[in-house]
Amino acid sequence: MINSFFWAFIFFVQHKPLLGHTCDTLSHWQAYLTYATSVLAGAQNGIEECKYQFAWDRWNCPENALHLPNQRGPRSATRETSFVHAISTAGIMYTLTRNCSLGDLDNCGCDNSRNGKIGGRGWLWGGCGDNVDFGERISKQYVDAVETGHDARAAVNLHNNAAGRLAVKATMKRVCRCHGMSESCAVQTCWMQLSDFREIGNYLKVKHDQAQKLQFDRRRMRAGNSADSRGAIADAFSAIPRSELIYLEDSPDYCARNASLGLHGTEGRECLQHGDSLSQWEKRSCRRLCHECGLRVEERRTETVSSCNCRFHWCCTVNCENCSQVIVKHVCSRKQSSHGHHTRRRVRGPK
Ligand SMILES: *[C@@H]1O[C@H](CO)[C@@H](O)[C@H](O)[C@H]1NC(C)=O
Ligand SMILES: *[C@@H]1O[C@H](CO)[C@@H](O)[C@H](O)[C@H]1NC(C)=O
Ligand SMILES: *[C@@H]1O[C@H](CO)[C@@H](O)[C@H](O)[C@H]1NC(C)=O
């Protein structure tokens, strides 16, 4: 919900000045309202995916991950905020594109631009292609408009927004349908379709892991001359492909609670220890969240009783037994030593 407010707030701040000038700007405002519900739903979708992707990381995409744009003090531009920008922009583009294909929106429809043309051996373009260009254009209008600054931070955010939009395109798939006598598949028609949003999340999580820190020519930046510093920013960007996420600042220590940064720390977080179906990343969650943060793993058992071994008796009763099941959870908790919990920490990177 916080994020819904965040986006609603953005529209208000960005477009309030336009209200009440001319009819022209009023219709501009109405155009914004047309897509507002889709944009909100898309941003929410992005944040939910963020929570899924980071469920077993020290930083787990907390609600305050997006700061209000006019909040006092510098907004951080860490590896994690680069992901938040990319995934929420991707979510907005994705939802708008889906809306378009489903016919939810009046002034847009499928991408039929190539229909009827030969796509390759034995297939033609046809069907309802997802209209990503529309989603891209509208998401740009909404999301990029927030970045009004001309500094490196705004440039980084814009770059990561664009990388999120590229991720939506990069994960698209060609799907085909067979035609011809009795499914002979002599001719196929194909169209481009969005992947599941989960795939976009997976794709961007890898980009997060590989994110690059932007390096500037500090001397040119300090010269104080705005042309020079813009030049330095442009040069720094030219070294990085558009599909890659970038950040400016190293991440804080996500192990530790830090109220002024809005960080909860990993104490009290659940981790996963056993289970055949766990991924390698999940299996190491206790090490990552507890041990490497100077915490111990506490086992918490809770018992639940449910009916089981039910037998049906003719006619018509069912007798069940009560079975109690112990559910074991593992939670990071503070060591009980008198030395405090910071003494035995190992060296780690921002995971
Ligand atoms: C677009 O799709 C989202 C999510 O499916 C939905 O919540 C929203 O209402 C849709 N927008 C319109 C205008 O139908
Ligand atoms: C919180 O983080 C800031 C910035 O990294 C740091 O200066 C401060 O000492 C931290 N506070 C605590 C209580 O660790
Ligand atoms: C199972 O538990 C319920 C309530 O906890 C109890 O009323 C019932 O008698 C129990 N049944 C058996 C077979 O023990």
pLDDT mean across residues, the chain: 84
User: Which tokens belong to 64?
Assistant: 């305050």
Shortest-distance ligand to the CA of residue 305: 3
Rounded distance between C-alpha atoms, residue 229 and residue 127, angstroms: 49
Give me the pLDDT at residue 233, please. Answer: 80
Locate the ligand 1 atom nearest the alpha carbon of residue 34 and give its number: 13
Atom of ligand 3 nearest to the CA of 307: 1
Position 301 scores a pLDDT of 93
| % of the chain exceeding 70 in pLDDT | 83
Return the ∠ at Cα 181 (arms to 179 and 183), rounded to 5°: 55
Q: Which of 71, 77, 80, 74 is nearest to 216 (CA)?
A: 77
The CATH H-level (homologous superfamily) assignment of domain 270-333 is: Wnt (Wingless and Int-1), C-terminal domain (3.30.2460.20)
Task: Give me the pLDDT at residue 23, please.
Answer: 43
Residue bearing the CA closest to ligand 3, atom 4: 322
| Residue whose C-alpha is closest to residue 243's, from 136, 193, 170, 192 | 170
Angle between helices 79-101 and 152-170 (to 10 degrees): 50
Q: Tokens 């209200």 map to which residue?
A: 19
Whole-number pLDDT of residue 153: 87
Query: What pLDDT, on the 0 to 100 scale, is given for residue 149?
Result: 81
Phi and psi at 149, nearest 5°, equal -75, 165
CB 41 within 8 A of CB 95: yes
What is the tens place of the pLDDT at every residue in 315-348?
888 999 999 999 999 999 998 764 544 444 555 5
Q: What is the pTM of this model?
A: 0.81
Q: Output the pLDDT for position 10.
A: 47
Following DSSP, what letter does each residue of 215-259 receive, concatenated?
Answer: ---HHHHHT--HHHHHHHHHHHHHTS-TTS-EESS----TTS-BG
The pLDDT of residue 138 is above 50: yes
Dump pLDDT digits (tens) for 220-242. Answer: 777 767 777 778 888 888 889 99
Q: Which ligand minimizes its atom distance to the CA of 74?
A: 2
Confidence check: pLDDT of 26 > 60: no
Q: Decide if pLDDT at 84 tops 80.
A: yes
pLDDT confidence of residue 65: 61
- The predicted pLDDT at position 12 comes to 45
Q: Which atom of ligand 2 is nearest to the CA of 252?
A: 5
Q: How far is CA 217 from CA 166, 233, 234, 238, in A?
A: 28, 8, 11, 13
- Can you give the pLDDT at residue 30? 67
Ligand nearest to the CA of 253: 2
Residue indicated by tokens 């990561």: 160
Q: Percent of the chain at pLDDT above 90?
A: 55
- Whether residue 103 has its Cβ less than 6 Å from ligand 1: no
pLDDT at 343: 44
Please state, in angstroms and as integers, the Cα–Cα distance from residue 214 to each residue in 84, 157, 189, following that order.
Answer: 17, 12, 44
Where are the chain's structural domains? 2-251, 270-333
**Can you give the pLDDT at residue 236?**
83
The pLDDT, as a whole number, for residue 75 is 66
| Structure confidence at residue 148 (pLDDT) | 81
Residue 337's pLDDT is 61
Closest ligand 1 atom to residue 95 Cα is 2
Worst-scoring range by mean pLDDT, 140-149, 163-172, 326-335? 140-149
User: Strand 212-213 relative to strand 317-333: parallel, antiparallel, unpaired?
Assistant: unpaired
Average pLDDT in the 135-160 region? Answer: 89
Is any ligand 1 atom within 6 A of the Cβ of residue 41? yes
